[in-house]
């Protein structure tokens, strides 16, 4: 399978982007979201969702729809994390929308890759996939520069490589099961490939 066809397959796997009905969607209150972030989220994610501990995701600049969905999944149990379930269970749908809008309103600082030895492998997987194993390119859903696609596919550029690696491992093992597409992709990647692509994404600009 040649590269253009592989990218086409990757795009097809992403499925249709959900339309946003601006007439019926409640408007988020960023000020209320800031209050929630200050009182509830600050311990793990810092005040503004910036570059805290590598074990926790950077939330700055993330698509608000994606963040809201993850919070809803934590609350429902669709995404398994005891700590986040405890926090998310206290939030209403409006709270989730507001705090997601707050983090999305912040400009994320650039990140960087750390491992020069795996950089080319990470780039190959991210941009072109692995054709002979039918592994789709990450860029097909998350865009070439890692900006993602609002609603469905998160921003990856600048994300902690350690966090991205942990999530890919979780998808592969079945511990994280709230995306069948990512479960399918991660299942085909070995440890070195997961580490390489996670590290590469950290340096995307």
- Residues 77-92 as b/e (b if ≥16 CB within 10 A, e otherwise) read eebebeebeebbeebe
Asked if residue 201 has pLDDT above 90, the reply is: yes
Residue 135: left (phi > 0), alpha (psi -120 to 50), or beta? beta
30-104: same fold as 3-16+110-202?
Answer: yes
Tokens of 1: 């399978």
CATH number of the 3-16+110-202 domain: 1.10.760.10
> If DSSP codes are grouped into helix, strand and coil, which group holds residue 198?
helix
Domain boundaries of the chain, sorted by first residue:
3-16+110-202, 30-104
List of residues 6+ apart from 105 with CB closer than 8 A? 30
CATH topology of domain 30-104: Cytochrome Bc1 Complex; Chain D, domain 2 (1.10.760)
Which among 132, 153, 186, 173 is positioned nearest to 3, based on CA atoms?
A: 132
Mean of all residue pLDDT scores within the chain:
91
**Whole-prediction pTM value?**
0.87
Least confident piece of the model among 16-25, 28-37, 99-108, 151-160: 16-25
Which among 109, 93, 111, 124 is positioned nearest to 29, based on CA atoms?
A: 93
* 139-159 mean pLDDT: 95
């Amino acid at each position: 399978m040649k590269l253009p066809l592989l990218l086409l397959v990757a795009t097809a796997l992403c499925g249709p982007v959900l339309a946003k009905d601006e007439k019926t969607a409640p408007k988020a209150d960023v000020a209320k979201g800031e209050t929630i972030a200050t009182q509830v989220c600050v311990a793990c994610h810092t005040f503004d969702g910036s570059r805290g501990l590598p074990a926790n995701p950077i939330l700055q600049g993330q698509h608000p729809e994606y963040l809201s969905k993850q919070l809803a999944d934590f609350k429902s149990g669709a995404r398994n994390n005891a700590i986040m379930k405890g926090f998310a269970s206290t939030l209403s749908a409006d709270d989730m929308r507001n705090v997601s809008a707050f983090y999305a309103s912040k400009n994320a600082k650039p990140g960087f890759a750390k491992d020069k030895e795996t950089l080319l492998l990470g780039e190959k997987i991210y941009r072109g996939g692995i054709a002979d194993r039918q592994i789709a390119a990450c860029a097909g859903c998350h865009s070439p520069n890692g900006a993602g696609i609002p609603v469905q596919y998160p921003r990856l550029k600048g994300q902690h490589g350690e966090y991205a690696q942990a999530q890919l491992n979780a998808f592969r093992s079945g511990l994280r099961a709230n995306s069948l597409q990512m479960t399918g992709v991660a299942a085909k990647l070995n440890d070195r490939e997961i580490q390489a692509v996670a590290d590469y994404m950290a340096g995307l600009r």
